[in-house]
Every structure is written in structure tokens, then in C-alpha cells.
């Protein structure tokens, strides 16, 4: 039997990168998956990939900053697949960057709305559906940035990701007695399309510099992060809750 047989999951930020890899892995492990992102074409191709391998998935495109979208995802999970057991609230962005004195209030709010408030809105509507199933697992994507390391020019991103750890712990304490586990993954640099090192115009040597910050001297593959999310989503981690789990290749402990 697969790790998630009979489970229903929501994955946000599923258009690419960690979210896409996790949605595919969840489906491979037996879950029926509702995938969310802003790009309908990318979501449709993901659903086609999952269907082609015998899995079950449905796409709901939208903006995670919208509470209506959070409601729509849960409604789709319940109406299409019968309930909700797992949610990977992964959507996020780098957001407003630069000197803190130059970040506009609009940029600050948009970054927190995208990375932190969206996760709260997701959980707000996912939790009641999970309670109706007798429990479940919530997983958030935080970051080592703002939690174990600070970087200049990333005040908004760091604050939003640190806030996710606080949200994780509060929800874990609030809902643990009712069968719901809540954890966060804190990835290191991951080789995804959105990674700054892969963007056109990045200074020469940027990728090597970022890889060198890690003890493993490389970036993560999205599927490596997905495996950790699977562990937290599955019954293999049945006594783990309230954890901010570093999956960072040793970037948090490296000084060489």
C-alpha cells in the first residue's frame, strides 16, 4: 500500500518547483490531489501528467491571497473527492526586496499577504474540513531565511517566513488534541524556475556562491523537498507536530 492511499490533499503553488514535485509525489503515493496556482496552463499539464500515471488530480487556478480561492479549494476537495486530509500550503514569492528603508508599505503588505496571510486563509478553511474527517496534516513552506539566517534586503520575505513558523506552532497547539498535526518545512536554496540564481541577468558566479553557502555545496532538487513534505503529510510522522523542519543542506550551520 502507498503512503497516502485513500487520502485527499490540497497543494498550493503547484505550477512549478516544490509544489509541482510534491503534487506528483502525493499522487504517486495514492492521494487524490487538488492543485492550485496562478497559471492555468501549467496546472492543466500537471493534471495531465498525474492522470497519465493513473493518479487523480483536479486544478483550481486562482490567487492564494483571496479568501474566496481558499474556500474554492476546500469545496473542490470535498465535492470532487469526498473530503480533505492533507494540505501543503506552499505558495509564496520573494516579494519586495531592497533596503528596508526603501520598501513601500504596498510591497510589504503584498509580500506578507502572499507568503503568510495566504497560508492562514488556507488553514482557516482547511481545518474544519479535516476535523470532519477526524484529523489531518497541514504543512507550510517557510524558509531558513528569517529563522536561522538573516540576509540584507529581505526584510519582508524574512518576516513572512518567520511568521509561518509562529503560525505552525500556534495551530499545532490549538488542534493537536483533535487529531490535526501542523508542521513547516524550511528549505535551503532549491533549483526551481523561480530561484534567483536561474534568472536571466543574474551576476556570473551567483549560482556557485549560493551553492557554496550550503554544507552539501549544492542546491536541493524539488523532489528532495517533496520527499520531506510527504513524510510530514503521512502517518510515518504520526507523532511529529509543531516542528519547523530544516531541509536546507546545512546552510544553517555552515560558516565555510
Total tally of structural domains belonging to the chain: 1
pLDDT tens-digit profile of 94-136?
A: 999 999 999 999 999 999 999 999 999 999 999 999 999 999 9
> CA gyration radius for the chain?
17
How confident is the model at residue 200, as a pLDDT? Answer: 45
**Which residues does residue 186 pair with via DSSP β-bridges, in sequence order?**
246
Per the domain annotation, does 255 fall within a domain? no
Confidence of residue 184 (pLDDT cuts 50, 70, 90): very high
Between strands 180-187 and 244-247, the pairing is parallel
How far, in whole angstroms, is CA 129 from its chain's centroid?
19
Q: What pTM, to 2 d.p., does this model score? A: 0.95
Is 109 inside any structural domain? yes
Please name the residues in contact with 221: beta carbons below 8 A apart, sequence gap of 6 or more.
21, 190, 191
Can you tell me the distance from the alpha carbon of 226 to that of 184, in angstroms, rounded to the nearest whole number? 12
Q: Residue 253 above 50 pLDDT?
A: yes
Could you tell me which of 189, 79, 204, 84 has the C-alpha nearest to residue 145? Answer: 189
What is the domain range of residue 63? Answer: 8-246
In a domain, 118, yes or no: yes
Burial track 49-78 (b if 16+ CB lie within 10 A, e otherwise): ebeeeebbbbbbbbebbeeebbebbbebbb
Res 195 pLDDT > 80: no
Percent residues over pLDDT 90 in the chain: 91
Q: Per the domain annotation, does 256 fall within a domain? A: no
How large is the average pLDDT for residues 50-78? 98
The secondary structure of residue 194, as a DSSP letter, is: T
Q: What is the predicted pLDDT for the residue at 202? A: 60
Residues known to be catalytic: 157
Question: Do the domain assignments include residue 142?
Answer: yes
74 band by pLDDT with thresholds 50, 70 and 90: very high
Position 46 in a domain: yes
Sign of CA dihedral 167, 137, 214, 256: positive
pLDDT at 198 over 90: no
Q: Is the pLDDT of residue 91 over 70?
A: yes
pLDDT of 197 > 60? The answer is no
Q: Mean pLDDT over residues 138-163, rounded?
A: 96
Supply the CATH number for residue 16's domain: 3.40.50.720
Q: Which of 1-15, 194-208, 211-225 has the lowest mean pLDDT?
A: 194-208
Residue 222 pLDDT level (bands cut at 50, 70, 90): very high
Integer Cα distance of 226 and 24 in angstroms: 9
Strands 180-187 and 8-11: unpaired
In a domain, 30, yes or no: yes
Flag whether 3 is in a domain: no
pLDDT at residue 199 in the model: 47
Q: Is the pLDDT of residue 196 over 80?
A: no
Amino acid at each position: 500500500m502507498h503512503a497516502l492511499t485513500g487520502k485527499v490533499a490540497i497543494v498550493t503553488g503547484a505550477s512549478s518547483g516544490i509544489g509541482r514535485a510534491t503534487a506528483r509525489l502525493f499522487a504517486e503515493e495514492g492521494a487524490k490531489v487538488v492543485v492550485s496556482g496562478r497559471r492555468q496552463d501549467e496546472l492543466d499539464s500537471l493534471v495531465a501528467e498525474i492522470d497519465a500515471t493513473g493518479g487523480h488530480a483536479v486544478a483550481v487556478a486562482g490567487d492564494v491571497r483571496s479568501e474566496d480561492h481558499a474556500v474554492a479549494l476546500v469545496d473542490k476537495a470535498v465535492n470532487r473527492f469526498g473530503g480533505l486530509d492533507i494540505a501543503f500550503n506552499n505558495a509564496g514569492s520573494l516579494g519586495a526586496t531592497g533596503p528596508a528603508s526603501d520598501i513601500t508599505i504596498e510591497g510589504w503588505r503584498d509580500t506578507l499577504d502572499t507568503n503568510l496571510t495566504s497560508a492562514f486563509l488556507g488553514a482557516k478553511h482547511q481545518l474544519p474540513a479535516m476535523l470532519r474527517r477526524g484529523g489531518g496534516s497541514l504543512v507550510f513552506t517557510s524558509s531558513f531565511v528569517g529563522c536561522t539566517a538573516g540576509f540584507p534586503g529581505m526584510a519582508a520575505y524574512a518576516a513572512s517566513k518567520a511568521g509561518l513558523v509562529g503560525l505552525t506552532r500556534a495551530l499545532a497547539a490549538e488542534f493537536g488534541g483533535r487529531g490535526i498535526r501542523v508542521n513547516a518545512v524550511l528549505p535551503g536554496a532549491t533549483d526551481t524556475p523561480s530561484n534567483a540564481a536561474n534568472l536571466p541577468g543574474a551576476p556570473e558566479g551567483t549560482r556557485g556562491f549560493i551553492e557554496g553557502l550550503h554544507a552539501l555545496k549544492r542546491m536541493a532538487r524539488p523532489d528532495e523537498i517533496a520527499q520531506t513534505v510527504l513524510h510530514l503529510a503521512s502517518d510515518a510522522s504520526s507523532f511529529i507536530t509543531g516542528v519547523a523542519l530544516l531541509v536546507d543542506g546545512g546552510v544553517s550551520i555552515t560558516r565555510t
